[in-house]
Chains A and B, each alone.
Chain A
Amino acid sequence: MKRLFPILSVITAASLAYALYQALVVAPTDALQGEVYRIIYYHVPSAWTAFLLFLINFVASVVYLIRRSPKADIVAVVSAEVGVVFCTIVLVTGPIWARPVWGIWWAPGDIRLTSTLVLWLIYVSYLVLRRFSSSAQTQMLAAALAVFGALDVPLVYFSIWFFRTQHPQPVIGGGGSMDPRMLHTLLISWLAFLCFAFLICWSRFRLELLKREVEQAHAMESLVGAGASAKASMPLSRSSR
């Protein structure tokens, strides 16, 4: 396992570099938007990766609610946190792309944009709940919030099919056509981002294990400390009788 991480890191770095080369050099220029359309190679794969991570969070949360499995809880928190990072990228690169193409940074009231922002807020509140709540029920409450939060994912994805929106139609399955070289580059970028997301999730998983180990060690130390002070106070309490 120790060897696998550096090997995967090298593969991920190589695939990200190759995806960048494809996106900036190989993919053809868009006839309407010009060079700026190349933001699609970071914006769309980040969105797909975020959706996948939120789906993993949903499954892990359901498993946790049914089995109370600590591993499922770790997978849930890891996928939510990394998903929020990718969703942040979507929300940052989207307006940067919209400004030169639509002439505005943000279309207020647009269902796709608003539902994505709401999705981000739901998972940020999930992480805030986990970080600052000290209740014994925190993990269960967070899992329940994640189950309801996941309902927003299909709303975000299908909103452009069912509502009038400024956002373009989906790249795949939206009825539109895309140059095969563009599609090829898009899929390569997604693959590279998936490798990268997997690597980050792996690191975050190890971090969570370490965090729980430290918490356990702290709990053991305070137990031992409490036991020692109880022993020390025993003769006193006997003599006071």
Chain B
Amino acid sequence: MNAIKFLFAAYIATWVIHASYIGTLVLRFRRLRQQLKELGQAK
């Protein structure tokens, strides 16, 4: 049935949204760690 593509679209969309959010978390972690490192070096 053609409707199966909607099922897969929904599942894929869910994991794309979660992966994107986790990606932003990782980027924010990296940026903050870098800032903290720079502040430590400045001291």
Residues of A at the B interface (CB closer than 8 Å) are 20, 33-36, 38-39, 42-43, 46, 85, 88-89, 92-93, 96-97, 99-100, 196, 200, 203-204, 207, 210-211, 213-214, 217-218, 221
Q: How many A-B residue pairs lie within 8 Å, measured between CB atoms? A: 76
Contact with A along B1-42 (1 / 0, CB 8 A): 111101101110110011001100100110011011001001
Residues on the A chain within 8 Å of B7, using CB: 35-36, 38-39
Residues on the B chain within 8 Å of A196, using CB: 18
Looking at the assembled complex, report how far the CB atom of A29 sits from the nearest CB atom of chain B, in whole angstroms: 10
Residues on the B chain within 8 Å of A43, using CB: 10
Which residue of chain B has the shortest Cβ distance to A42 in the bound complex?
Answer: B14
Identify 14 residue pairs between A and B in the complex whose beta-carbon atoms are under 8 Å apart, listed by A's number.
Answer: A36-B1, A36-B4, A36-B7, A39-B7, A42-B11, A42-B14, A89-B14, A92-B13, A92-B17, A97-B6, A100-B2, A210-B32, A211-B32, A217-B39
Residues of B at the A interface (CB closer than 8 Å) are 1-4, 6-7, 9-11, 13-14, 17-18, 21-22, 25, 28-29, 32-33, 35-36, 39, 42-43
Looking at the assembled complex, report how far the CB atom of B13 sits from the nearest CB atom of chain A, in whole angstroms: 5
Query: When the two chains form the complex, which single residue of A88, A99, A203, A207 contacts B6, counting CB atoms closer than 8 Å?
Result: A99
Q: Are A46 and B14 in contact, CB atoms less than 8 angstroms apart?
A: yes
Interface of B is mostly: helix
Looking at the assembled complex, report how far the CB atom of B22 sits from the nearest CB atom of chain A, in whole angstroms: 7
Q: Are B22 and A200 in contact, CB atoms less than 8 angstroms apart?
A: yes
A168 and B43 alpha carbons, distance in the complex (Å): 61
In the A-B complex, list the 4 residue pairs whose CB atoms are closest, starting with the nearest. Answer: A36-B3, A100-B3, A93-B10, A96-B10
Residues on the A chain within 8 Å of B3, using CB: 33-36, 100
Which residue of chain B has the shortest Cβ distance to A84 in the bound complex?
Answer: B21
